[in-house]
Structure 1
Amino acid sequence: MNKKVTILNDKHQRPPEFSAGSCTVTVYSLQPWWRVDLLAQYQISSVVITNRVDCCSQRIDGAEIRIGNSLENDGNNNPRCAVIKYTSDSSSYNFSCNMIGRYVNVIIPQNGTTLTLCEVEVYGVLGAISLQTDVALGKIATQSSSSYPMFLAPFAIDGNRDSNVYAMSCSYTDYYFKPWWRVDLLIEYQISSVVITNRGDCCPTRIDGAEIRIGNSLENNGNNNPRCAVITDIPAGSSSTFSCDMIGRYVNVVIPKNGAILTLCEVEIYGVPAVTKKINLRVKFHTSEDMIDSTTRHNVFQQFQMVSALKLYWTQEPELEHENKGFSDPSPVHYIQR
């Protein structure tokens, strides 16, 4: 169960007025930052930031949340969870991270500004060891179109959440009919969640309405597989987590409308290899075919496969039973229940 592992405000409240005496503020400086040391590694699921509202609320625009174990550059070089995009609609911002680290930083990466935080909440569980990892790393990605070599599909699974599309770490399709992106995990996985990082430097609403689909079929390029989620909104430069609890080899992101561009700055897929059951089955059948011929054996086997929902494999070649009844005694058939 996730719990709140640190807070900025001792009263466990979120007063967004600086005059309440519950906010921190830096001096006007070069790339101002704030950091909390959790004293141990945590699996951090989310970070909630409460902004000042009585003055200067827009100052937080462009601030970055970074999480990791390094104190290089005061911790500001750790991997990025999200970029804060200022909005007047809310004083608190909730960012999904699903990252491991001891240090959580908030930094404004620009010269000459002030950082004010009225609350920082970090939610997670103690201990960095997890059975689930990002299984998309190093796998095979493709997409519906790609006219530019700096926006190729594999850039969305390079382990880098940089949301500037020109940093060569995002995938980007052409303006296309129902654009899609797909990763082949090479084997089936029990997928618990998918994390999507949206483009931060432009056009964040383009991803609205995109669907995450997971399964084993390549029909319609994998876009007919069961749906995990519909992306309603991901703020610019932010990462959102979608719970799936599904099994599949292929994970697709598709925008199901005509004339759109799909941009993904990172796709993380968390899960474990799917468990399969192996059982031996012995079958006796009558046939007039010559089972000594390998082609004939293959054709008979395919007939078995057509009437079975399972994947079948010979473990031994069929043998002829020496009886007057003329039955063929095939080998056991090894099948995998999925």
Structure 2
Amino acid sequence: MAFSCSGMEGRYVNIFIPGVQKTLQLCEIKVYATTDITGANVALRGVATQSAEPASAATAPHMANDDYPLETCASVPLQDNPWWQLDLRSIYRITAVSIISIGDCCSEELNRAEVRIGLRNDNSNQRCAIISIAAGQRIYNYQCGIMEGRFVHVVLPGLHKKLTVCEVKVYGAVLENVALRGVAFQSSLRSKTTGQASRVIDGQFSTCSITEDKPGQWVTVDLLVPYNVTVIQLAFSENCCYGDEVRVDDTRCTISSSAQSLMTLDCGGIVGRYVTVIHPDIPPPLCEVEVYSTWENPQNIVPQWPPPNDYCSLASCSRDYILIHNEPKTWFEAQTYCRERYTDLATINNNHDMNRVVDKMENDFSDFWIGLYQDVINWRWSLSDEGYYGDGEAEFRNWGVSEPNNENTIQHCANIQHMGEWGDLDCDLLNYFLCFDGRDGAPETKILVETPMNWADAQRYCREHHTDLLSVRNQAENQDIQSMVPIGKLAWIGLFRDSWKWSDGSNSLFRHQWQGSLDSLGEGLNCAYVYNRKWNVRSCDTKSMFLCYYFKKRSVVTIKTDFDMNDLAIQQQILSQLEKEMKNKGISDFKISWRMSGLVSVKQEIKDNNK
């Protein structure tokens, strides 16, 4: 059995069975903790295909998963929305994907390509990342949380595109097939010597169950105990059986892949003991029934990290919000909806953003989800710039004896004393604090501010006058700053513990006025919503309206001409040419408007939906 602990920090792992007169027997415990991409490249086990025939055998699909990134590449000839696909043939818990490009000469052949992972063998799977090519860089690593799937797609949206990928590496572990623990039986047996039901759970695709040659036959696997069934795979002796009905107890699963010999079904976490495959027509041999049971739903029950939006610079883009009021959804359903159609659930960075959010409310009593959710409490630094930390430096800690102790469950901010040891305190206490100044053009500086403030005010002061509260990255830095703290005093540093995270992975620490107490929340996942202009918290399973955000991209084109720009025919001709050019670049959602002032300029506004 495998469990995801979502990055919980700790030293001790405890396994216990509640109750009296119990026996606990364990054969093996394995604990994994990693920040880098490690492990086996499982892409070598998969079968690669692509959207168009290669120009030659040297650029065939399998050249991108042959483990020779410097020598071979797969290439899809010029077409609309080209893609490269990897079928892993089993269901994996995928933790990371690495993409290797051909180099600076052909960067446009991979730039802005999307990496998608899931159960479907088409381009509608969940997006893991958008590749943004950087000069001199060939390897692009993406850690997307834990995503479960069989197919990995690299898709390049747009018209008349050529896609070139030199290597795709996939890191993860195959999920356990719990059907191997069960027993199987079937409606009939064609032969007394071959085709028994047990062959569908023997772990081999070469042996098959064979029922009588007539419609309505079925095969059932008894898992012996109820499981939380998320995925089922069926292996047949030939491509077929798209019309088969597959049930977990009395609930039907959805077929995710098209008719083929290895068929994947999404069961969405149905709890049941019996898996039944019913053939409406005369069935071919059924060779294997694989059942996967996990706590992570392949359709995004656990929040995933979306791709970065650095391809849309602040100079050319603005963030906007849209309220979806006619399709109430749970928080996780809303997250999936926003990511598929826009960018993500709304992130609110400051009071200005909050005022814009309030403008989206139809009346004072509207309530809707935003992108804030409660996760595992962990310690993190106020300064979130990843480039500031070397390997392992963001995890450096120098706690004193019995620290952190979270006394009275309110000590969520870290301090340092003159001996260099750290402790945790109530963030509302007043202390000296240490700022870090790393602004461009000035040497990095550490500053002790001897005006006592609470942690939040200290953070605000450091950000306004310097860069941020101080991060301590290693023992040498800790020894350097401990002498700055006066004897008998404590000083805030930038380390704090927080359980709230934004859906898009933003490091925004902005929190608006909360309605009610956060200490009385029940068990289970809790998410934030806006009600009557204040923030509130409730179970993420509640159905509600929700707020998405997206990026609007603006471009201004100045046209100088001797023609009469007041001539409507000339205006129409220019507009037609601009529209054609936009469509040739693969942009379909745009608006063009005129502004007449001495020179004539054309302003084009694009609502950028995940491009």
In which range does the TM-score fall when normalised by the shorter chain?
Answer: 0.3 to 0.5
TM-score by length of 2: 0.27
Name which structure has the greater RCO, CA cutoff 8 Å, separation 6+: 1
Higher Rg: 2
